[in-house]
Amino acid sequence: MASKAAQKRLNKEFVAMQRDPPPFIWAVPDEKNILTWNYIIRGPPDSPFAGGEYHGVLLFPSEYPFKPPGIKMLTPSGRFHPDKKICFSMSDFHPGSWNPAWSVATILTGLLSFMLSDEMTTGSVNSSDSQKRQFASRSHAWNLGQARFKEAFPDYCTQAPKDVPNMGDQRQPQSQPTTLFTPPTQQMPSFTSSSSHNAIPAPALVPGNLSQASNSDVSKVKPTTADEAAAGAAEAAMSWGQILWDKWRWGVLIAIAVVVSRLSSARS
């Protein structure tokens, strides 16, 4: 039976799990016993466990959070013995290293990290990457045949494996590239090359705004008279001069400051 401290803490952690689950992990307490939690770990991409669905249990003592839980993985994975306690730093094999600040999310994130390593311990097995992939491909079908999985995760008893709420943000829309921040001292004055996917759009070419246009844009404007052509060339030259000054002014100012500093040192 759970102590009041354990009951309060595990209820709080269930709310936290619902609000902000860790990547590739989902966990829920047993409806009849809050000290027993069922979890699902989804195999991360680019690992031998990719596509796998691994069901296991956390067995909390009544003294939790002051004592660590026992941890089992029930689904065959090629990494751990099914239904056998796993020894690692956050399990009940190591009460001396347990930190009461650790939570369900912390424990399962640590278990996933340990799963992706090659470290051998009590409860682990040795297998090749190809064998782990075979286990991953059969894991969901195996889970569907287990009464405990169906009882704990009825929403995950679908024909194909279902993603847990947080799949590590692996599927971001490709049509929305990330805009990189450019420090102000390196930012171009009002436009950038059209080859950059996050370029700032160049201002429209309108009369009286040629000083803000690029050289290639200026070349597209056809002056109607020789005077207008000369004015356009002058404005284009002023624009390039402004660009060069904005780009190099900090280097020039720094160089001047260094020279002045050395002259002051020499005089003193």
Asked whether the beta carbons of 140 and 162 are under 8 A apart, the reply is: no
Give catalytic status of residue 157 as yes or no: no
Q: How many residues does the chain have?
A: 268
Rg of the chain in Å (alpha carbons): 31
Output the six-digit token pair for 77: 């994975």
For 134, other C-beta atoms within 10 Å of its C-beta total 15
The catalytic residue among 5, 50, 59, 87 is 87
Q: Give Cβ neighbours of residue 165 (< 8 Å, ≥ 6 apart).
A: 21, 26
In angstroms, the CA 227 to CA 79 distance is 80
Chain centroid to CA 53: 20
- Interior/surface letters 172-201, b for 16+ CB within 10 angstroms, e for the rest: eeeeeeeeeeeeeeeeeebbbeeeeeeeee
Number of helical (H) and strand (E) elements in the chain, helices listed first: 6, 4
Output the six-digit token pair for 198: 């996050």
Residues known to be catalytic:
87
